[in-house]
Amino acid sequence: MSTQKSQGKDLLTSQLNIANINFQCDLTKPVCSRCIRFPKECKYNINIINQNIVTHTRPSEANRRNESVNQSLIPIAHQPVLNLSPLLSSKESQFFMHIFNTETAPRLFPAAPALFLQRIITSSLETPHLLYALLASACSHHSRLVQNTGPRSRVSCLRFTNLSISCLRSALSETSATLTAETVTTAMALCTNDVCNGNMQAWKTHLDGVMRLLNVFLDSQGTLRITDPYIQCLVKWFTTMDVLAGLSGLSTTGMMSSDTRLLDRSFDLLNRNVDDICGYSLKLAPLLAHLSQLVQQKCHTGAGMQQNVLAEGRRLETEIISLVECSVSGGDSIELQSTHLAFIHSALLHLHRRVQTLQRNHETVKEDIRRIIAAVKDIPPFSSANILILWPMFSVGCETNDTKERDF
């Protein structure tokens, strides 16, 4: 493993030094030239996390309804350290690590526990394939933020992605190597990058790979119930991606559609609390997977089986409605309760339109849409919790005929 790390560092140094790009701040006030098109106030430094992570409070642009929510949803800030990882030898890699810490991670995981983000960042500084995956994610994210999708940006993103895949392949091919949580995290990060970049086929391929890696990794733990909070977050991250793949019309990996083994191994599914990674109760996850399965059956079964699908849909509808009243662990958070309700009523909207095939002007469909919008209105407009509800909002936009609702 020491040889592999040495080779990884040498490879990183040689590859990243190819790009001689100056990302330093010129200290121009109030916004430096580097950040002139960046949608944030200039920070005038590049802070790289190593061991110390603290939370901080940013000035709110809207009145918070619940102060406890403000503390649970704010992005983490990172303490500067004197000794950077040797894997971050270039100004380009340091800049994109800074972007991942301050911009990308808080948007991928707006309500995630600080422990999860801390583990990802600190472990990446010693794990080349994970570091490259995070740099690729930050590079791609930054190019969209500043509306710079030119050749240089694409080359940098592809270079980081290819380095990540190459190092990941090397790590998996070593006979003496054991599968680690960082290996699964790398595959999950690559998969998420594909979603953000709109690469659906690569998303499906990586999602299949993540499922296999997670199964092997959990089997290696040798316990009846996984209790490591970081591994639990990985399982929820995968669950979110897999379920949304099915709801988006892609064929799922089959893991969530057929059973809940991954969730069963990590969580007490009797717990009705709203989850801070998914934005909804974990009890809803297998119901969403079942819903996507019913939609597929509705499209591909003959007339003789349609009644069975409709009957199963009615049973599923009852189960979904039973989850309306779910609490938030650690406090009464209006925001996470609202994201949960948005998913509940979006699931019902999906069921009513895709399984029961109700028309858009049907009163039941209209009521689903009104309830989704009501839930969203309970989330402050500048809250990062809004990031969690993209699927519910797209669902409303696609299904409503009302111009005001579509504009909202």
pLDDT at 213 over 50: yes
Which own/partner pairs from 243-246 qualify as long-range (CB within 8 Å, at least 24 positions apart)? Answer: 243/285, 243/288, 243/289, 243/292, 244/391, 245/203, 245/204, 245/207, 246/288, 246/289, 246/292, 246/293
Please state the pTM of the whole predicted model: 0.74
pLDDT at res. 296: 84
pLDDT at res. 33: 53
More confident of the two residues 14 and 323: 323
pLDDT at res. 338: 93
Q: Got the DSSP string for 196-235?
A: HTT-HHHHHHHHHHHHHHHHHHHHHH--SS---HHHHHHH
Average pLDDT over residues 147-168: 86
Average pLDDT over residues 208-233: 82
More confident of the two residues 147 and 341: 341
Q: Is the peptide bond before 229 cis (omega within 30 degrees of 0)?
A: no
Burial 362-380 (b: 16+ CB within 10 A, else e): eeebbebbebbbebbeebb
More confident of the two residues 74 and 33: 33
Average pLDDT over residues 213-236: 82
The segment with the largest mean pLDDT, out of 2-16, 206-220, 289-303, 380-394, is 380-394
For the ranges 67-71, 89-93, 144-148, 313-317, which has the lowest average pLDDT?
A: 67-71
CB 40 within 8 A of CB 31: no
CA distance 257 to 12: 40
pLDDT at res. 400: 94
Instruction: Report the interhelical angle of 303-321 vs 284-300 (nearest 10°).
Output: 160
Give the percent of the chain with pLDDT over 70: 72
pLDDT at res. 76: 33
Average pLDDT over residues 193-206: 80
Q: List pLDDT tens digits, range 227-262.
A: 788 988 898 898 888 888 888 776 544 444 434 567
pLDDT at res. 330: 58
Domain ranges (residues) in the chain: 87-227, 270-407
pLDDT at 42 over 80: no
Reported as a pLDDT band with limits 50, 70 and 90, residue 7 is very low
For the ranges 196-210, 254-268, 292-306, which has the lowest average pLDDT?
A: 254-268
pLDDT at res. 364: 97
CB 385 within 8 A of CB 279: yes
pLDDT at res. 196: 83
pLDDT at res. 318: 96
At residue 53, the 3 state secondary structure works out as strand
At residue 274, the 3 state secondary structure works out as strand
pLDDT at res. 319: 95
Closest CA to 208 of 189, 187, 226, 194: 187
pLDDT at 204 over 60: yes
CA distance 36 to 140: 18
pLDDT at 328 over 80: no
The segment with the largest mean pLDDT, out of 19-33, 162-176, 279-293, is 279-293
Q: List pLDDT tens digits, range 74-85.
A: 333 333 333 467
Instruction: Report the interhelical angle of 334-350 vs 390-399 (nearest 10°).
Output: 40
Average pLDDT along the chain = 76
pLDDT at 366 over 90: yes
Structure tokens belonging to residue 378? 């309970």
pLDDT at 148 over 80: no
The segment with the largest mean pLDDT, out of 87-101, 166-180, 358-372, is 358-372
